[in-house]
Structures are given as structure tokens and as C-alpha cells.
Chain A
Amino acid sequence: MSDDISDSTLDMFLEEAGLMLTDFEQALLAMASASSDIETLNSAFRAAHNIKGTAGMFGFDRVVEFTHEVEALLDRMRAGSQDINETAVELLLQCLDQIQRLLGELSEPEQMAPNAERSRHLMQQLAALKKGGSAPPPVAAEKASPTVMPTAPTQVPEWLIWVRFGTDTLRDGYDPLSFLRYLDQVGTIQQVAPLTDHIPTLVELDAQGCQMGFALRLQSTASAKTIRDAFAFVADSCTLKVVPAPFSVATLQAELQSIEKDSPRVEHVLREIGVWPSAPNSRTDLPPIPHNATEDDLESLFNSIQQGQTPTTSVAPPSNPSVPQPKQTPAAPVIPATPPAAADHTPTKAQRKKPAAREKKPEESRYIRVPADKLDDLISQIGELVIAVSSAQIVAERHNIPEFSEIAQRLDKLVEGARDHSLRLRMVPVGETFSRFKRIVFDVSRTLGKEAELIITGGDTELDKSMVEQLIDPLTHLVRNALDHGLEAKEERLAQGKHPCGQIRLNAYHDAGAFVIEVSDDGRGLARERILSKAIERKLIPADSKLADEQVWNLVFLPGFSTAEQVTDLSGRGVGMDVVKRNIEALRGEVNLFSEPGAGSMVQIRLPLTLAIIDGFLVEVAGSHFVLPLDGVEECIAMPDLACPHPNAANYFELRNTVIPLLCLRRHFRLNAAPPRRYSVVIVRHGSQRVGLLVDRLHGEHQTVIKPLGRLFNRVRSISGSTILGSGSVALILDIAALLADASTLHTPTAPSISQSNPLSSHAE
């Protein structure tokens, strides 16, 4: 590796390579599925090629050397000379892991030796696969008709493809032969001729520069776009013409004169591949262009063609005897094939000057990659701005200056917009993260000898990127657990009348200001009695416990709890579920488990959308300020006649014929101050549960910049963070889930319970 690469550049490369490997993995996994198509294979090839090319730029020779072999195998697959089967895909996935290891050598140089051995072993396997692959397809020349043109008319459209590759094509890792082989998959190459005239002698040759090209006649039902797309990787650097039949002299000259100046040579090549008509067949057919024609002559000729005139030329006839003369080949009739409808081959001159590949650039450059630190700084600044604007509003109200109030309000709106936009910058769809579990399901199901598929829904649902990253480990554990313990073996499933292939589902959606992820399976479900007996055996619960299903399921989140009959490499060691719960709670989230015997289980994770700024609802209790997440606030009710309920009184009230638990925050936080003239109740909701919070005063909506609490407050329940108000005072952010749990414990048994629907029935479909 080059020593002069800066750390930041290297970090950028490694991050880029990580994304490329993700693309590669997704393409390989798609190749393993029945719905795989040529585009999937192209994606895999493109990803491998990009990894190799980028690694080469940074001097990762070991990565380049290894990935080259992988790319070669994919290229053979593209050319049809290598079968795409499960063995090949599994080997390619192993190779992908190896590329990842090779990239990791930078941070773990001690891994170089074992990695080299692994590389050697895998390269041997690649070579063995290559040898054992299906027979290469007959080469173009073997398939080509010995006659220059087919004698019978054919219904399959024909195309002339004329391409000269850019100088850097080889150095960029592209082999002209690959394009030829790929075209033979798009259609059938009838005849090919190399364009060798730009290749110099050995002395002048830039051996790693490309001076080659080729012309070929292709029979294909593909559209012009598909054929052009075959050259998409080199579109910016190559000169390409795709001309549909019928081939007339006028068409050919009009198409090629802009890129080829040596007209006799062009004619010679076209005759070789059988697309040069023998006799004029229309009023626009032209005499051969003299080899010494100038650009002006050609321009004039072109204009004549455009205007439908028969051009004349005053250019002197060829006098150079060294110029090869056209062969007197048999007459080449115009192919009576119908040009494909998709191709419009009468472009204007301006259109021809605008290569299709370049038109893609604006689409590609719509995204800018920005380091996460910069976004964090921006959001932090916006947070300070929110507080400053809040201060300005207080000052405006205090001094009662209408103009100032108006400006402060406008500022508040603008800052709110800026806040929303900046927070959105950090939001990423979870689909990309979900996709990586396809590999886990692929690998683990094979290890366990089970059939399983991963179904992803709600991949577009967005979540703060920092949270997405912290979700990977818990989700990995949950998916592995579902595969290992949730899904039954194939035989067991068949015996139960289930499909032999089990399903693991990952589902994401937004609900009441929360982000919800569900990991479910259609396996055997949790065994209630086994969980209970295990919990009693381990003295986690008293032997005479009477627990509801939900409470039983949640026992599995206790540290050290495991009912697995057999400890496997994957799970069942009794560690993990408690860590999952701890990780989720560290994100201010909660985790719940639902199960139905024989139907499957589901782990539901609820998380706040962001960790930075939220829309809050500010309330006051005994002179202290509290913020409730606005998304959880349903309504507010003034209750002038209600005193703070006595500790022994029923902690509930009736609202529109519904009994709702009531929690007096004054008592809950043991705040002593003179009671207000009247109380207000804020109805908050978490999932399907509701509780009324009794407060002294409502201040209304408040943009809340979340400040974490110190470690000292780690054990304080019901409070998830703090914020600074415009006045400079501190407000505590209430944790609605914890408050609900507290309200439940205060809830008298006589009060009607609020039913909790089983999410298995609503989301696991």
C-alpha cells in the first residue's frame, strides 16, 4: 500500500469499499435467488470491478490481485462460459468475506499471513470452479456464417456496432474482450473485425493503454439502449456507434464519418463484417469517400445527406497505393430486418454530439457524501439556535414589544424549519441495514440445515443514522435466534402442514412518533411451560407465580435465561436477549415479545425517531418544568374541581366513558409547593396504552434540544433527559413509557384494564 495516503483519504476509501462490498453482497445474494437476471450479475460484476479499481488506486495490491480473480469468474458468468449455481455463489460470498479481511489488514497487520493463506486457498477454488465450469460458448467466428451476408432474410434485427475504446480502458480494469463476450449474450455476433490501425509499433506502444477497437455485426432483439448499455462502464471514454439494419451507404457514412476519418478503411472493415451494400439502393447512396477527404469535405457530405441531396465531391481520388483497397467481396444486400421500435436512428447532429452516458451524470451527482461529524456539528448549532430563539421570545413577551414579538415568532418558525431539515439529514432508510440480514439468513440457515427466507417490509422507513448503527447487533442476535430456535426443521414443518421454507420477517414503521421494528418468524412459538419451569428452576420467579403470557415471554430478557435444549454456535448460551434489551433501552427504546404457539414469535422494538431534538410539550408542576414528547400527547383537559388525588384514592378517572389511569406528577416526583388553583390533565399515549398526567400548568409546544442526563441520574426512572429553556432554566424530559409503567402499578385492580392488542395479528401479516 502507498505510504503517502492520508488517514482521512484512507478512511474515505475504506468507507467507500464497505459500501461497494454491501452492493456486492446484495447482488450475490440476489444471484442465489430464482429471480436473478443478467442485471443482477452485472451489478455483482460492477461491484467487484469497482472494489478492484478503487483498491488499485490506493495500492492495495493484495486486494486487487484477489478481486481480479473474483471479477474474472463473474466475467465468465457474464459470457455464459461459467454456470451460476449455489456452489459458485457460496464461493463468491466467501471471496467477498476475504476481500473484507484483506481490507482489514490495515488495522490488523498480524492477519496478513493467515489472510494470504486464505486467499491462496480461495483462488485455488476459483480456479477449480473455472476448470469445472460449463464449456465455453462457441466463439463468434465459429458461429459466423462463412458467407458475408445471410442469404435468407431474417426476422431478428441486426446491428452494426463500431467501438473504439479510450486509452485508459485497460488501466481502468476493463478488457475489450469482456464487452465482446457480453454482446454475445445480448445477441449473436455474426462477424467481428478488430480495429487495429491505432496500435503502434512496440517502440511507441503504451502497453497498458488501449488502442484497440472492433466492429461487429450483431443479431439481437435487444433495443439500441440495451446494446449501448453494454458499454456503460466505459461510456465516457469510448467512441461508440450502434447502427440498426437496414444498412445503406448513406446511413453508414453518416453515422461513422464523425468518428472515423479513414473512409476506405471504414469501408473495408464494413465489407469484412458484411454490412457494406454492394450497390446504391437509394438516391442518398454515396460514392466511397476519398481517403484524403478533409473535415470540410466530410461536413459538406454530411450536410448533403441531411438535406436529402446527392452530394458531389471535388476531392482528389486516392493516390496512396499503400491504402488497402476494398476487397471485391460478394454483393451485400441490404438486410430486410425491421429496425427495433425502441431505436430512433435518425438523430440530429446535435443529438449525436451528446453521448448518452454523459446524460446520466446529473442523476449520479445528486448525492453528496458528508462526514457524519459535520452533520452532528450542524445539529448541535441548530440546537443552540433553538434555545437562543426561545430566549428571544421570552424577552419579547416580557417587554411587550409587538415588532420584536413578531420577529421572534418568525425566527422561531424559520429555526423550526431549519431544525427539521437538519435532522432529516441524519435520517436514513433502514432498508440498507435490513438487507445485510439476507446474508445472515443465507449463511445461518445453511449451517442449521434449515430452509429460510427473509422478508423485508418497510425498508423505506427512516431513522437517525446513529441509532441504525446501534441496532445492528441487537437485530443480528434476534434474527439468529429466530433462525436457530424459532424456525422448526424442514421435516417438523412439513409434519405440521407448514411450508418447508420458514419465514423471517423484518418490518419497520412509524407509530405515534416512534420508530418500530419487528422481527418475527413463523416457527413454533415460545413454549410457555418451559419458560416458566426454567424461570422457577433458576429462582427468577416464585414457584407459585401466576403470570400473564406477556410477562412470561418477557422472562427471556432476564440475564442468563435460556431454555435452549442444545447450545449451538449461533445462540442458546443464555446471553444475548438481556443484552438486546439493554441496548434498546440505552437508545431510549423498549422491547416486547409476543408469541403464539405453533404460529411464531415476534420481537417488537420501539425507539424514538431521533436522539437530538424533539417537539415537546412543556408543563409545570410545583414550579418545576417538564417536557413531554409531543407525539405522545393526545389531549389536555382543565380540571378545576380536581384536587391532587390522595395516595389511597383511586388513581383513575373517566373520560368520555373510558377509564384512564391518572398519575399525579406532583406526588410522583415528591414536589412540595402550594397547590394550584386548578389542575390540568395531559392525556399521553404509548403504544395502545394511555395515562392522564396531572400537572399545575400547561405551557404548550416547545422545541426541545435533548441534553443527556449525567450518570448520577442513571437510576432515576421516568426521566429520559433534560433540556434548557429560553429562560436558562432546566426542564426534565419525561419518559412516557416509564410513567405508564408506574401508573400501572398504582392502578387499582377494580379499574377496567386497557386492553393491549396483540401486534402479531396486526403487523405480522
Chain B
Amino acid sequence: MNDHTFTLEEELTLYQVAQVQKDLLQAFEQGCRRFNLGHINTLDGAGVQLLLALVKTASAQEEAIEWTEVSAETRHVFAELGLEPLTHTDIPITRTPT
């Protein structure tokens, strides 16, 4: 694990997920476990799915990740999907809620 924080950009939608997937994977493989969701202002189902895949990746490797910040839009969307447990910051996340 390194101290690096990976910051996601403003939009995380179908149009960005393919590229962000590569970036996230690379960051994760380099030991990054802290992710900043504070800048996200547009998030759709594809974006949520990507974030859940990130959690799954950590879980599969018995690692924990954490969000340093979670934007209001992200909280809103997570809450809509019943993913409130994923809205906390600075708490290690080890698995997807369901």
C-alpha cells in the first residue's frame, strides 16, 4: 500500500468508464488504496458499477480501500441504490454491501 490518493474526475459515466477502469486498475496494482470521490458531479449506473468492481477487486485480494472524500452527487446516487454503507469516508471498505 502506498500513500497515494487516486482522485476521480467530475464525470464518471458510461463515456468515461473504460478509461477510468484502466487507470483505477493501474493505481490499485501500484498499491493505491485511497480514492477521492469528492469531485464527482455526474455519476450514472456504469460509474457505480465501476466503483463496485473496485471494491470487489480489493475484497478478492482481502484488501481494504477507503474513500477520502465522497461528493454529494455520489452520496445521492449510492443512497438511491441502497449503497449507503459505501458513502462513508475514511472507513476501510472490504466488501460490497449485498
Q: Which residues of A contact B (CB under 8 A)?
A: 136, 139-142, 170-171, 175-177, 180-181, 191-197, 199-203, 205, 207-208, 210-212, 214, 216, 268-269, 272-273
Contacts and interface: CB of A to CB of B under 8 A. Distances in A.
Q: Which of A181, A211, A214 has the most CB of B within 10 A?
A: A214
Interface in B62-98: 76-77, 79-84, 96-98
A212 B53 CA distance: 11
Given A139-B79, A141-B84, A214-B81, A170 B14 contact: yes
B1 interface: no
A699 to B, nearest CB: 70
B96 A192 contact: no
A268 B54 contact: no
Contact of A140 (B17, B49, B57, B80): B80
Nearest to B76: A139
Interface residues on B, range: 20 to 34
Contact of A207 (B18, B60, B77, B81): B18
Contact of A141 (B21, B56, B57, B80): B80
A196 B86 CA distance: 13
B46 interface: yes
A268 B82 CA distance: 14
B46 A202 contact: no
Contacts of A136: 76
B53 A201 contact: yes
Interface of B: 14, 17-18, 20-21, 24-25, 28, 44-46, 48-50, 52-54, 56-57, 60, 76-77, 79-84, 96-98
Contact of A202 (B28, B81, B84, B96): B28
B79 A203 contact: no
| Interface SS of chain B | helix
A192 B53 contact: no
B79 A141 contact: yes
Contacts of B56: 196, 199-202
Contact of B57 (A139, A142, A203, A207): A203
Contact of A175 (B45, B79, B84): B45
Contact of B46 (A208, A214, A272, A273): A208
Given A170-B14, A194-B82, A201-B56, A177 B96 contact: no
Given A175-B46, A202-B25, 19 more contacts: A170-B45, A170-B49, A175-B44, A176-B45, A192-B81, A193-B98, A194-B81, A194-B96, A199-B49, A201-B60, A202-B50, A203-B25, A205-B50, A205-B53, A208-B46, A210-B45, A214-B81, A268-B98, A273-B82
A325 to B, nearest CB: 14
Contacts of A214: 81-82
A199 B52 contact: yes
B24 A202 contact: yes
Contacts of A194: 52, 81-83, 96-98
A196 B82 contact: no
A269 B44 contact: no
30 contacts: A139-B79, A140-B82, A141-B82, A171-B14, A175-B45, A175-B46, A176-B45, A177-B48, A180-B81, A181-B80, A192-B81, A192-B82, A193-B82, A194-B82, A194-B83, A194-B97, A195-B98, A196-B52, A199-B96, A201-B53, A202-B21, A202-B53, A202-B54, A207-B21, A207-B46, A207-B50, A207-B53, A212-B48, A272-B82, A272-B98
